[in-house]
């Protein structure tokens, strides 16, 4: 590995364009003759669509096309499972689900037109509590794709002998922790420009974290060959995981391909909040045991991640939460169960640390509580259990290099002794 750049100051290649205001984010590019697209989104979290009437919208002067589910050749997308529709046909599963799209001569007309689309909803009770949604008698939100249960994913991790672990424990701390839903709130709302180029290829200019995947999803939904679709990544105005899923790419592509006109779309901040993924809210049930000399001996953890309405990256995210559930501490006896559960909440997906952030609240709080119960300093409690080279994690991985935690904590000791250590 070339380590020559570590510790040196490298100027960003794109820095100058950004400080001069020259950089093109997707909202900054246009094509002659472009139309403006807007999307009608569901105000309901769970509903059956009886009918969608677009006549009044289509009749508005300046409207060039109105699109609903029936105009989408293959109406499905999703990073792991294609359980999300480009435009919802029958079942609304979250507030913000897209139902119809309009292409019009101006943004104003497009937005007026979507307000004229009439949707007849049969509003259904929503499942908003993941533990309710896990119950066997809860109505299944995706029976066709994910079967009769809303438990999308379950990862059990087992190590050692729990019975033996609890027997050795002099102190046991049992607590429940909850983390909240978070939005990435990247500063640049989603925007896209889609057009058919001189070779007959569909070009989609977008700020994305995942251009090759977008290309496949656009091609799939529109029934095109990969070679007919080009995704050009513009400057990305923040993403933090929130641009891994499809946002406006397919809808804009569909309208551009069908109408053979460039389509420009920009989300307002509100639409941005309504449409992209969120950080998984998690419920973490932790029971941790330690001996009186401060050694961890047993952990039983149940982690329930609220996947929301669609799977997105949920299995991977709750898997990561499970893998990190012990924190950087050696625990010989472990029983971890991590679940992703479908609900009618906004869908959860990738966000910075990808499931590793939430368990921190639980395992570090447990360490503080155990330290208090044992009369140890929080620092000492951690030093007695911290991973070293040679430690084996709950998943059986032997750590062989680059395990700097103990060194790091020791370096902090003088500081903690004077300021940071509550004890």
Partner 1 sequence: MNIELRVNEQDFRLVVEPDERLLDVLRNRLGLIGTKEGCGEGECGACTILMDGKAVNSCLVLAAQAVGHELMTIEGVGDRLHPHPLQKSFVELGAVQCGFCTPGMILSAKALLDRNSQPSEEEIKEAMSGNLCRCTGYDKIVKAVQRAAEEVAR
* Site of interaction with partner 1 (CB under 8 A): 9, 11-12, 14-25, 27-28, 184-189, 235-240, 266, 268-269
Judged by CB, which is closer to partner 1: 23, or 258? 23
- Chain center to CA of 323: 18
Handedness of CA 73, 74, 75, 78 (dihedral sign): negative
**DSSP calls for 366-419:** HHHHHHHHHT--HHHHHHTTB--TT-B-TT-PBP-S---HHHHHHHHHHHIIII
Judged by CB, which is closer to partner 1: 184, or 382? 184
What are the tokens at 126? Answer: 């929503």
Smallest distance, Å, CB 215 to partner 1? 22
Judged by CB, which is closer to partner 1: 37, or 328? 37
Distance from C-alpha of 205 to C-alpha of 278, rounded to nearest angstrom: 23
E-strand stretches of 260-332: 263-266, 282-290, 296-308
Distance from C-alpha of 303 to C-alpha of 325, rounded to nearest angstrom: 9
Q: Which helix (H) or strand (E) holds 115?
A: helix 107-115
Smallest distance, Å, CB 49 to partner 1? 29
Smallest distance, Å, CB 398 to partner 1? 35
Place of tokens 């100058």: 16
Phi, psi for 195 (deg, rounded to 5): -155, 165
Phi, psi for 148 (deg, rounded to 5): -75, -15
Distance from C-alpha of 399 to C-alpha of 402, rounded to nearest angstrom: 8
Judged by CB, which is closer to partner 1: 195, or 257? 195
CA dihedral in degrees (55, 193, 309, 88; nearest 10)?
20
Smallest distance, Å, CB 378 to partner 1? 26
Smallest distance, Å, CB 114 to partner 1? 17
Smallest distance, Å, CB 209 to partner 1? 12
Judged by CB, which is closer to partner 1: 14, or 120? 14
Judged by CB, which is closer to partner 1: 184, or 261? 184
Judged by CB, which is closer to partner 1: 18, or 48? 18
Strand arrangement, sheet containing 118-123: 91-92, 47-53, 118-123
Contacts of 132 (CB under 8 A, 6+ apart): 138
Residue 20's Cβ-count burial label (10 Å; 0-12, 13-18, 19+) is exposed
Q: Are 81 and 87 in contact (CB under 8 A)?
A: no
Distance from C-alpha of 381 to C-alpha of 18, rounded to nearest angstrom: 47
Smallest distance, Å, CB 233 to partner 1? 13
Smallest distance, Å, CB 18 to partner 1? 3
Judged by CB, which is closer to partner 1: 189, or 346? 189
Query: In terms of Cα–Cα distance, which of 299, 281, 313, 282 is closest to 153?
Result: 313
Smallest distance, Å, CB 257 to partner 1? 25
Judged by CB, which is closer to partner 1: 12, or 225? 12
Smallest distance, Å, CB 207 to partner 1? 9
Contacts of 360 (CB under 8 A, 6+ apart): 324, 327
Judged by CB, which is closer to partner 1: 58, or 236? 236
Judged by CB, which is closer to partner 1: 28, or 372? 28
Smallest distance, Å, CB 29 to partner 1? 8
């Amino acid at each position: 590995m070339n380590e020559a750049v570590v510790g040196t100051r490298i100027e960003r290649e794109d820095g100058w364009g950004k400080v001069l205001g020259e950089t093109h984010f997707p909202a900054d590019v246009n094509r002659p003759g472009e139309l403006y697209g807007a999307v009608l989104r569901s105000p309901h979290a769970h509903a059956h669509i009886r009918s969608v009437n677009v006549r009044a919208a289509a009749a508005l002067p300046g409207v060039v096309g109105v699109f609903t589910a029936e105009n989408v050749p293959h109406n499905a997308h999703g990073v792991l499972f294609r359980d999300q529709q480009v435009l919802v046909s029958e079942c609304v599963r979250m507030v913000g689900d897209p139902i119809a799209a309009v292409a019009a001569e101006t943004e104003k007309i497009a937005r007026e037109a979507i307000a004229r689309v009439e949707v007849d909803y049969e509003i259904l009770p929503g499942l908003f509590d993941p533990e309710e949604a896990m119950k066997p008698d809860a109505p299944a939100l995706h029976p066709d794709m994910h079967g009769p249960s809303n438990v999308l994913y379950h990862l059990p991790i087992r190590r050692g002998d729990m019975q033996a672990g609890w027997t050795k424990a002099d102190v046991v701390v049992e607590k429940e922790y909850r983390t909240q839903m978070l939005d990435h709130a990247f500063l640049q709302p989603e925007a896209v420009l889609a057009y058919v180029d001189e070779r007959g290829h569909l070009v989609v200019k977008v700020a994305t974290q995942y251009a090759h995947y977008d290309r496949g999803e656009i091609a799939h939904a529109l029934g095109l060959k990969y070679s007919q679709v080009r995704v050009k990544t513009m400057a990305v105005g923040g993403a933090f995981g929130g641009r891994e899923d499809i946002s406006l790419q397919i809808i804009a592509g569909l309208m551009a391909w069908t109408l053979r006109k460039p389509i420009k779309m920009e989300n307002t901040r509100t639409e941005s909040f309504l449409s992209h993924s969120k950080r998984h809210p998690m419920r973490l049930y932790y029971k941790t045991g330690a001996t009186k000399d401060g050694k961890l001996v047993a952990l039983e953890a149940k982690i329930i991640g609220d996947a929301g309405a669609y799977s997105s990256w949920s299995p991977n995210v709750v898997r990561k939460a499970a893998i990190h559930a012990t924190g950087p501490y050696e625990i010989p006896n472990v029983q971890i169960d991590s679940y992703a559960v479908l609900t009618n909440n906004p869908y959860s997906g990738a966000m910075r640390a990808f499931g590793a952030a939430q368990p921190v609240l639980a395992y570090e709080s447990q360490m503080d509580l155990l330290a208090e119960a044992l009369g140890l300093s929080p620092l000492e409690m951690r030093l007695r259990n911290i991973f070293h080279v040679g430690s084996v994690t709950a998943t059986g991985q032997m750590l062989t290099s680059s395990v700097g935690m103990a060194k790091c904590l020791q370096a902090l000791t003088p500081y903690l002794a004077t300021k940071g250590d509550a004890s």
